[in-house]
Structure 1
């Protein structure tokens, strides 16, 4: 009995199927290469899909914290901001281990490869163990500074400053007026 347990441990360490599981699940093949699995990841995987099952893409990107809510994930899919293996996908698309997921959210593109399937949302340290991040680095903060920022202590913008800022933002064309001149907009009195 003890020798069977030792043989099972040897098989797991060399990348074997790991005991009585005839299918040789992907989890057993991945776990030794990654080292020990965090107990929280193991708990999330236990609550997740079984062998051969899949997870919805909107649920998975929410569970691994790429997006704040599942409804935002579904909206991103419907808007064409989520691609799996190069294809636009709907929220109910089934994600599998090894898929490449591209997500465009908040002005940044995230490119991740699915390592583990989970359905429950987990903490950030656990979530990064569920994917391989191949995203380009985020742009520097100076490059994304909003236009129209004033120096501290200069006060409120003048009317002329506001008009210049609106013209820069493209809100009003130059020379735009409200169209109400003189008596046109006044109600007729007695």
Structure 2
């Protein structure tokens, strides 16, 4: 990458880290290698360069972000600075809000008794056919 190009393009894993989608750059690299990030509709590798105008789809369980890159930065700044690096699409924001509502309204598992006693554990193992 040329020096003049360095100001307009940055590695994908660095951008994901700087935009605060992942807490560490290695976590961003693992996500890209795991197929959880697409750039302009194609799979990507961590070293792929990202420029302003690129569309990136990031899947951070259980949410899916579709963003358009508005700026590049190699340094991780504040959350406000990170928000300036991208613009989320309307459809993506609406889908995330709907999913958040569904997750909030979904019944949660309640554990009232705590862990099983030794006798209960043996009964469970018998039922599962392990003993």
Q: Which structure carries more strand by proportion?
A: 2
Is the counterpart of residue 124 in structure 1 residue 76 in structure 2?
A: no
Higher RCO, 1 vs 2 (CA within 8 Å, ≥6 residues apart): 2
- The SS at the match of 2:59 is strand
Q: CA RMSD in A?
A: 2.7
Tell me the residue number matched to 1:178.
130
Please say which structure displays the higher CA radius of gyration.
Answer: 1
- Whole-angstrom distance in 2 between the partners of 1:145 and 1:119: 41
**CA gap 1:146/1:122 in 2 versus in 1, 3 angstroms:** same
The gaps in structure 1 that reach 5 residues or longer are 1-47, 167-171, 180-190
- Deviation per residue, 1:58-115 (Å, 9 max, x gap): 1001001111111010000100000000001010011011000101112211111000
Tell me the residue number matched to 1:142.
104
For residue 156 of structure 1, the aligned residue among 91, 114, 125 is 114
Is the counterpart of residue 86 in structure 1 residue 38 in structure 2?
A: no
For residue 97 of structure 1, the aligned residue among 25, 37, 52 is 52
- Deviation per residue, 1:9-68 (Å, 9 max, x gap): xxxxxxxxxxxxxxxxxxxxxxxxxxxxxxxxxxxxxxx932xx4101110010011111
The gaps in structure 2 that reach 5 residues or longer are none
- Deviation per residue, 1:130-178 (Å, 9 max, x gap): 110123324224356653x13xxx543666xx88xx9xxxxx8x94222
Count of residues in correspondence between the two structures: 116
**CA gap 1:108/1:73 in 2 versus in 1, 3 angstroms:** same
TM-score by length of 2: 0.74
TM-score by length of 1: 0.53
Tell me the residue number matched to 1:25.
none
Runs of 4+ residues deviating >4 angstroms = 143-146
- The SS at the match of 1:132 is strand
